[in-house]
Amino acid sequence: MKITGIETLRVADRPSVIWVRVATSDDLVGLGETWFGADAVEADIHDRIAPLILGCDASDITELAQVMKPYVGFCGTGAEMRALSAVEVALWDAAGKAAGRPLCDLLGGALHQTVPVYNTCAGPDYVSNTSDVRPGNFGLPGGDTARLSSRRYEDLDAFLNRPAELAADLLEMGITSMKIWPFDFAEDADKGEISDADLAKTIKPFEAIRAAHGGRMRIKAELHGLWTLDAAMKICRALEPLEVDWVEDAVNMDRMDLLGALAEATSLPLSGGETLGGLGQIEDLITRGKVAVPIVDVTWGGGVGFAMDAAALAAAHRRPIAFHDCSGPVALAVSSHLAMACPNVEEQEITRAFYYDWYGQAVTGLPRIAEGMISVPATPGHGVSLMPELGSRASRRTSGTMPGAN
């Protein structure tokens, strides 16, 4: 089963997402994906990776991942690692199709038939115009109430303005855990500081959810790595009485010393790691950063093999692992297969605004979500295929030879 072609696909209305199709001599096509910096990722796939792997055996996934690993000095989740991740995921999808088995079976079999989900409360247009993650690109509708009322699951606007109502709606769907990030909107967030007045204002969504729903709804706090250590400590102290599940990305994730100091200073569990790649960084996250729940992104950090190794590393330290989803439908599908196969997964992240909006418009074969639980289909590979109409409007770049449009 030789690799005969690699194709990248991009659509104008989702400029941060790039899909990768890897074709084999057995007329199979695996689908991969990554997010952020699509121009750089596309260039790396065709200029660096394609010449390395065209003609190679597609079933040698571990060896190919080593071949695709960028040169000394490249680490984390930069363009080279995202490119590697997307191609590696596509190879696993092709392997599942070749075996006629779902991805989780190739990873040792499903230990779970379903896993609880938690909802990351973004809206459908969250970080969609560019790759810049800051409030100006959060997709908020502003004062356009007609547009707001016409969109389904504008959860970011809801957690800022109607948090108790949002929590009630999630509970009605059977979803009992949610993640919000009101602190991003503090006046001095871009300077890493938070005033007493802004802290009092940004803590209100947590207080409103607790007042309305008590312990029925679990809450996670996302800090997006914006804060100095002092500001992060201040936020954590305010959150401690509200008993949040975890505080995610509390400081910049390249500062393990600060993360470890914060872990020593707060009673709240810390989480994070989706922007890290390679096992060395995950090891540091656990041992020096002292996070309670490492998070990895399979389409950023190194692919399926990396994610399985990271899960085993977390298990060796008696920690759960969490798989990131706030990017694309393939990432969710592969993360869900990983969640079924890993013994130390307690829940799977979803963004319902994406799942019920553009994910369903872009692909078929998504994992099923019902009553707050996610499950994967029994179809070979990860189960997700691009919609034909998406392929017809996508820009394409091809290395090697591809079969007809999928």
CATH of residue 393's domain is 3.30.390.10
Q: Give the C-alpha separation, 338 to 296, whole Å.
A: 11
One domain, residues 17 and 156: no
> In terms of residue numbers, what domain contains 88?
3-101+386-400
The answer to whether 376 and 333 have CB atoms below 8 angstroms apart is: yes
The answer to whether residue 311 sits within a structural domain is: yes
One domain, residues 8 and 57: yes
The answer to whether residue 405 sits within a structural domain is: no
Looking at residue 131, what is its pLDDT? 66
Closest to 212 (Cα-Cα) out of 167, 161, 170, 154: 167
Q: What are phi and psi of 145, to 5 degrees?
A: -70, -30
Tell me how many domains the chain contains: 2
- Block residue for tokens 């994992």: 367
What pTM was estimated for this model as a whole?
0.95
- Longest Cα–Cα distance of the chain, Å, equals 63
pLDDT, one tens digit per residue, over 44-89 is 999 999 999 999 999 999 999 999 998 866 778 899 999 999 999 9
pLDDT, one tens digit per residue, over 253-310 is 989 999 999 999 999 999 999 999 999 999 999 999 999 999 999 999 999 999 999 9
